């Protein structure tokens, strides 16, 4: 064994000595700078010893393999043709071994100042673009909301939001996205009864790594766009494309249903399959998956989900999704009884350039988590009624600068509870003659089992000071009527909002509103400062 090690070490030393000796006797190294279908360009510090017709080598272990034939050269570069069986990519190491032999007939060298001539029909060397282009975008805002009623019971609230998207940071395979929210309520001491006044929420915080152009891995809290009804997932999400088809896996935890924090007890895992098609006239994406959610190791919910979106001919947009529960547990007895808990479908059709029509339908049932809501399961299943809704809207642009539309929506369920009808209409003028700016009128009427309301609002918007200052002035009348009594009341709102663009990416806004009702006036004041950033703009 010792003899074997001794011979191996001596062989390595001999090989290294041989290579060093070659450097001392005419070894020149360079690197591949550009590769085309016909030629290979090699960069050297000096090409003086290299002649037209010489052979260049690549290294294979301690051996040199002939792979390139020099056809043209300058003082620092060689144009070569590849020999059979050799492949190259940018930055590959290339070796020239000088041989002491009679000089070959030299052909005229290209001067250092001239470019190497490209074979006829070949394009000049293109500018190399990175595989991934990075982009950093974000939005940071701080806002205050103050309610100043006539009785002096003032309430204040502050809100801070941060959203950030770092796509392929520094042109790398890593991307980061986040959406954070912090809210604090300022309540009079007399009303404090131990309730929480500070709330920090992480809605999105994830790192994505693109292993290659077809395979990616995401770690952190993220909503999967291919199955948005699942909500946020704390954990790992992997996705692989196979041409137009794709498959994904999910493994992690659900956010806590009470405070939206991380909850190690709420394990969830699943997988999905899908297909994505994109061309000039058609776009489609369809996903079908299965997810199981647990609570402290016990099955909380198991269901299949489906989501589809498509655009046909730039005129028809369609979206649909459903969730089908596949697990039931009552009095410790488990079964598989399919239960449709969520169904939504919508379509938008652009009839002409001036008219478009939208219609949607949804049906939702209470989601039952058999462990989290263990004490309420029987009551929830007894009240297993679908809350349904339909909505239709049409928008029309009869003439230039004028837009109008009307919509109708209805909520209903079998037992006639929670039903309502809502009608909304608007007319807007986007450019007012002479004074400029825009003007809009909106009307809304809603009727439920116990209340009827009518709202009429007017709004004028315009920009001033070279578009640095944007203003909104509005007036709104509201009338309420309780259907089970003769009680009626009305309110009038007068408001103004001003937004000043300090820079292209920094703005400050303030809103003031007076609510006039009966013989008292209530006020509210909101302020907000927004900072945007984008390294591509």
CA distances to 158, 234, 265, 273, 358 from 199, in Å: 11, 19, 22, 37, 37
Helix (H, G, I), strand (E, B) or coil at 77: strand
* pLDDT given at position 307: 93
* pLDDT given at position 65: 75
* pLDDT given at position 87: 79
Domains and CATH numbers, the chain: 2-97 (2.40.10.170), 213-384 (no CATH)
For 237, other C-beta atoms within 10 Å of its C-beta total 21
230 phi, psi to nearest 5 deg:
-70, -20
* pLDDT given at position 380: 62
Unique residue bearing structure tokens 């494309």: 241
| 250: confidence class by pLDDT, cuts 50, 70, 90 | very high
Q: Is residue 427 within 8 Å of residue 396, measured between CB atoms? A: no
Q: Are strands 77-82 and 40-43 parallel, antiparallel or unpaired?
A: antiparallel
Percentage of the chain surpassing pLDDT 70? 85
Q: Is residue 238 within 8 Å of residue 247, measured between CB atoms? A: no
Convert the pLDDT of each residue in 443-477 to its tens digit: 999 999 888 999 999 999 999 998 899 999 999 99
Convert the pLDDT of each residue in 7-60 to its tens digit: 343 433 334 333 333 444 457 888 888 887 678 888 888 888 888 878 888 876
* pLDDT given at position 333: 78
Angle, CA of 153, 155 and 159, to the nearest 5°: 180
Residue 306: name the closest of 324, 293, 292, 327 by CA: 324
* pLDDT given at position 62: 53
Residue bearing the bigger pLDDT, 407 or 186? 407
Convert the pLDDT of each residue in 209-218 to its tens digit: 999 889 999 9
DSSP output for 118-168: PPTTPPPPPPPPPSS--EEEEEEEEEEEEEE-TTS--EEEEEEEEEEEEET
Highest mean pLDDT among 123-137, 367-381, 479-493: 479-493
Mean residue pLDDT across the chain? 84
Convert the pLDDT of each residue in 410-432 to its tens digit: 998 877 778 899 999 999 999 88
Q: What is the mean pLDDT of residues 482-497?
A: 88
Highest mean pLDDT among 11-15, 90-94, 195-199: 195-199
What residue spans of 273-343 are helical by DSSP H?
Answer: none
CA distance 392 to 463: 33
Q: Are strands 339-350 and 333-335 parallel, antiparallel or unpaired?
A: unpaired
* pLDDT given at position 329: 83
What's the per-residue H, E or C state across 166-219? EECHHHCCEEEEEEEEEEEEECCHHHCCCCCCEEEEEEEEEEEEECCCCEEEEE
Contacts of 532 (CB under 8 A, 6+ apart): 138, 139, 140, 505, 506
**Assigned token pair, 308:** 């589809």
Q: Is residue 317 within 8 Å of residue 311, measured between CB atoms? A: yes
Convert the pLDDT of each residue in 106-155 to its tens digit: 444 444 434 444 455 555 555 556 677 889 999 999 999 999 988 878 88
* pLDDT given at position 24: 40
């Amino acid at each position: 064994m010792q003899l074997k090690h001794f011979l191996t070490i001596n062989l390595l030393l001999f090989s290294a000595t041989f290579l060093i000796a070659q450097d001392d006797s005419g070894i020149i190294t360079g690197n591949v700078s550009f590769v085309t279908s016909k030629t290979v360009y090699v960069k050297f510090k000096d090409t003086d010893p290299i002649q037209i017709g010489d052979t260049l080598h690549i290294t294979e272990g301690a051996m040199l393999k002939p792979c390139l034939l020099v056809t043209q050269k300058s003082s620092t570069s060689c144009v070569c043709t590849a020999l059979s069986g050799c492949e190259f990519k940018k930055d590959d190491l290339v070796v020239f071994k000088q041989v002491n032999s009679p000089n070959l007939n030299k052909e005229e060298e290209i001067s250092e100042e001239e470019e190497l001539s490209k074979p006829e029909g070949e394009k000049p060397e293109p500018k190399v673009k990175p595989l991934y282009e990075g982009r950093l975008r974000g939005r940071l805002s701080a806002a205050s909301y103050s309610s100043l009623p006539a009785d002096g019971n003032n309430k204040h609230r502050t809100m801070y939001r941060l959203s950030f998207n770092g796509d392929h940071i520094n042109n790398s395979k890593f991307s980061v996205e986040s959406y954070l929210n912090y809210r604090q309520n300022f309540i009079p001491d007399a009303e404090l009864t131990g309730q929480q006044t500070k709330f920090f929420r992480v809605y999105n915080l994830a790192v994505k790594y693109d292993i290659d152009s077809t395979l990616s891995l995401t770690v952190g809290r993220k909503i999967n766009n291919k199955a948005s009804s699942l909500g946020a997932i704390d954990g790992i999400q992997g996705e692989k494309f196979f041409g137009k088809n794709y498959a994904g896996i999910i493994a992690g935890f659900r956010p806590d249903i009470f405070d939206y924090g991380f909850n190690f007890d709420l394990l969830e895992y699943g997988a999905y399959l899908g297909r994505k098609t994109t061309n000039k006239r058609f776009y489609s994406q369809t996903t079908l998956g299965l997810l199981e959610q647990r609570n402290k190791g016990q099955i909380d919910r198991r269901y299949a989900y489906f989501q589809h979106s498509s655009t046909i001919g730039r005129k028809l947009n369609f979206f649909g999704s459903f969730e089908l529960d596949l697990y039931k547990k009552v009095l410790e007895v488990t079964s598989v009884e399919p239960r449709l808990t969520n169904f939504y479908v919508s379509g938008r059709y652009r009839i002409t350039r001036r008219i478009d029509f939208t219609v949607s339908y949804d049906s939702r049932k209470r989601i039952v988590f058999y462990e989290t809501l263990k004490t309420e399961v029987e009551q929830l299943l007894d009240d297993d009624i679908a809350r349904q809704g339909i909505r239709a809207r049409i928008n029309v642009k009869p003439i230039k600068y004028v837009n109008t539309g009307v919509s109708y929506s209805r909520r209903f369920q079998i037992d006639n509870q929670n039903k309502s009808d809502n009608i909304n209409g608007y007319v807007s003028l986007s450019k007012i003659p002479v004074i400029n700016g825009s003007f809009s009128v909106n009307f809304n009427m809603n009727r439920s089992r116990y209340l009827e309301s009518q709202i009429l609002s007017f709004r004028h918007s315009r920009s001033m000071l070279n578009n640095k200052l944007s203003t909104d002035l509005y007036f709104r009348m509201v009338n309420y009527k309780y259907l089970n009594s003769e009680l009626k009341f009305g309110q009038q709102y007068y408001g103004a909002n001003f937004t000043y663009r300090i820079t292209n990416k920094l703005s400050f806004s303030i809103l003031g509103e007076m609510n006039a009702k009966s013989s008292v006036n209530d006020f509210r004041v909101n302020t907000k400062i927004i900072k945007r950033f984008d390294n591509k703009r």
